[in-house]
Chains A and B, each alone.
Chain A
Amino acid sequence: MGIDAPNLQGANLFQVIVTGDHAAQVQQNMHRGEGQFQSQMGMAAVEKALRARDQSDATDMVVKSQEDNAQFSTDDSLRGGGGGGGGSEEPRSSSDGDSFFEESDPGGPIQVLRAPFETADRFRSTLVQGGRAIGERTFRAIDRRFLAGLLDQPG
């Protein structure tokens, strides 16, 4: 009896063997793909864990970066007055797009006053005597979202 013929139970041995080989190849490929998939999953899990850790660190880094920007801004302005950093103003570069130091500063470099309390008293008397209209010439809208964020912090 040839192989390509039904046996006593009616099964075609050739088809059985071919089908078995094909199934083995498919299963082997599946294992290979599964292994690759599992390795990719492992890498993804590791990457996800690292990313989660990075995100937690990144949050701190963002805050620190903002604080550093604020410090740098202040210090740079201070150096601008003293000539240490070469700049004369708070940084207004486009790279600080999310910073709140974006407004133009027509007031010039900051400096120490000789009589700060006299200036404060003058501010008080001028403001109180000026009435409602003077408020429009004294204050302008500041980034209230940032202020809300600061007020949320404890302390």
Chain B
Amino acid sequence: MSSGSDAYRRQSVLTSGPSETMRLCLEKALREAIALATGRGGDMDRLRKLLSLARQGCLPDEPGPGRDLHDLVGHMLVRISGADSDAMAESVGLLSILVGAIRDWRGTISGATIPAWDRVPRP
């Protein structure tokens, strides 16, 4: 990776909002989980760190998506720490859903901010 793109990525990580930071964290965890599940490297410690970081980024104070995300990340932490061989595959599936959900949510927000062409009010 070039230094320019690396600097851009670092800057985007440090300046993005909480939702984007969470998406990056979960995507990185997803990549680690896929690597571990397929036996192509991966670092279990890094996966745990990322999941712990994602858990830290939830707001589980009241029932809702924050609580669900908090519980799901905790669930994955417990599962991958056990000896169950299916745990990593399950985590890959769950992380895929979570990352996709945040991506869809961001798309929804963008759609609200910039309305589609056919919804633009005409004079």
Contact = CB atoms under 8 A, between A and B. Distances in A.
A81 interface: yes
A121 B52 contact: no
- Main SS at interface, chain A: helix
A151 interface: yes
Contacts, number: 185
A121 B10 contact: no
Contact of B59 (A119, A120, A138): A138
Given A67-B45, A78-B78, A139-B66, A73 B52 contact: yes
B56 A131 contact: no
Interface stretch (A4-12, A22-30, A41-49, A141-149): A141-149
Contact of B100 (A100, A111, A113, A124): A124
Contacts of B78: 78, 81, 110-112
A134 interface: yes
B18 A139 contact: yes
Interface string A123-155: 110111011101101111111111110111101
- Main SS at interface, chain B: helix
A51 interface: no
Contact of A138 (B41, B43, B69): B69
B81 to A, nearest CB: 6
Interface residues on A, range: 35 or more
Nearest to A114: B75
Contact of B56 (A116, A134, A143): A143
Contact of A71 (B48, B61, B70): B48
A126 B102 CA distance: 11
B2 to A, nearest CB: 14
A137 B65 contact: yes
Interface string B48-69: 1110111111111110111111
Given A120-B94, A148-B10, A152-B10, A140 B18 contact: yes
B98 A123 contact: yes
Nearest to A118: B68
A137 B66 contact: yes
29 contacts: A70-B45, A71-B45, A73-B52, A78-B81, A100-B53, A103-B56, A107-B58, A110-B75, A111-B78, A112-B78, A112-B79, A123-B97, A124-B98, A124-B104, A127-B65, A127-B105, A128-B104, A134-B64, A139-B17, A140-B18, A140-B59, A142-B22, A142-B25, A142-B57, A146-B53, A147-B28, A150-B28, A151-B28, A155-B31
